[in-house]
Amino acid sequence: MSLYKAKTLIIIFLTTLISSCNGQEYRNDPSNKPIQRSIGTQNSILVNKPKVQISQVVRMMYQDSKGVFWFGAEGGAFKLAGDSLIHIDSIRSESGGRVTIKDIAEDKDGTIWFGHTDGISSVDGDLVTNYYQSDGLISNAVWCIGSDAEGKIWIGTMEGACIFDGKTFSNFELPLGIKDTTVGVSSDKMINKIFRDSKGILWIASNAGLFSYSNNKLTNVSKKMGIKTNFVSIGFEDKAEVLWITSKEGLYTLNDGVTKKITDSNIEIGKGIGSVAEDKDGKIWFVVNQHYLYTYDGKEITEFKKSEENKGPVVFQIYKDQSERMWFVGYGGAYRLENDRFINITKDGPW
């Protein structure tokens, strides 16, 4: 399907606070030409206004190659421009409703891509383009998105994976997995994570396990790793180019084809290992069973004790920014950890 069949909208990034849309139209264009709209704006500047969360649920964040912060939340995406947070109102479902952002990626040309609950969207400068199943996407229920070295966009959905080359979508076949009955949303074709490492290898985590893709060859890495569960994902790649693998069974490292299990029987895994990241000192932070934070210094695992006065969010993502500050986003909003204290980051910062 041609790029020109995508639903294209113009957004004007404000230098004030949050933009809102006046009378924007969302419809299919029978002429197959891009639909472009200038969005009316409404500025709201209040004196001594109360602090407002970016969103009650911030699913993830991303800092791009230019240092710009992006936040994906229930209700859409946000961009930090200077000290002003802008809601990108043009990222919409095909029917014009707001979406929940599930993943954020950047391609080789600096375009920012969002996977969400009704397709995918790109932001290139001030231009927002939305793509849906009607444009060739394998499914509108997108869970993850990534980019390969050639600039192709890889999309993981409830119904499998597909690739977008800028003009057309093509399906990428993977082995059939199993449905995870312990969570509310799952399928036997579900793709959980797509990640490109520093060597250019693509890693695809599905409900059939973990796969690597390089030189047009797909390899089932889970079998080699000896992980006993299908429900595996990629955490991140550390400074030493070691991959950190999360699963319902525990936390692993993968280094030159050799795996090591980090967690032991002293930790109750429950629903599994969630997000994982490395701080400026090389300490690994990870989420267990959705609610508990642990650190690993290379020798010992220690629980980071929360309290009513210092509990932060229910963490969906741990993220280290380019200034090596640690962010924790999830249910309850966005927070940074500073001197072992969670600092709530609202629409007014502190940035």
Q: Each residue of 108-150: pLDDT tens digit?
A: 999 999 999 999 999 999 999 999 999 999 999 999 999 999 9
Single pTM value for the model: 0.87
**Tens of pLDDT, residues 281-330:** 999 999 999 899 999 999 999 999 999 999 999 999 999 999 999 999 99
Statement: residue 206 has pLDDT above 50: yes
Range(s) of the domain holding residue 198: 3-311
Residue 318 covered by a domain: no
Residue 328 covered by a domain: no
Residue 109 covered by a domain: yes
Residue 213 covered by a domain: yes
State the total domains in the chain: 1
20 alpha carbon, distance to own chain's centre: 24
Q: How far apart are CA 218 and CA 212, in angstroms?
A: 6
Statement: residue 180 has pLDDT above 60: yes
Cα-trace Rg, the chain: 20
Any idea which residue has 């400074």 for tokens?
Answer: 239
Looking at the chain, the whole-number percentage of residues with pLDDT higher than 70 is 86
Amino acid letter for position 147 = S
Give pLDDT, residue 184: 83
Q: Kindly indicate the confidence band of residue 230, based on its pLDDT and cuts at 50, 70 and 90.
A: confident
Statement: residue 13 has pLDDT above 50: no
Looking at the chain, the whole-number percentage of residues with pLDDT higher than 90 is 76
Residue 347 covered by a domain: no
CATH at residue 262:
2.130.10.10
> What average pLDDT is seen over the chain?
87
Nearest to 153 by CA among 185, 196, 102, 118: 196
Residue 146 covered by a domain: yes
Question: What's the start-to-end Cα distance of the chain, in Å?
Answer: 41
Number of other CB atoms surrounding residue 344 within 10 Å: 16
Give pLDDT, residue 288: 95
Give pLDDT, residue 254: 94
| Three-state secondary structure of the chain | CCHHHCEEEECCCCCCCCCCCCCCCCCCCCCCCCCCCCCCCCCCCCCCCCCCECCCEEEEEEECCCCCEEEEEECEEEEEECCEEEECCCCCCCCCCCCEEEEEEECCCCCEEEEECCEEEEEECCEEEEECHHHCCCCCCEEEEEECCCCCEEEEECCEEEEECCCCEEEECCCCCCCCCCCCCCCCCCEEEEEECCCCCEEEEECCEEEEEECCEEEEHHHHHCCCCCCEEEEEECCCCCEEEEECCCEEEEECCEEEECCCCCCCCCCCEEEEEECCCCCEEEEECCCEEEEECCCCEEEECCECCECCCEEEEEEECCCCCEEEEEECEEEEEECCEEEEEECCECC
Residue 76 covered by a domain: yes
Give pLDDT, residue 217: 95
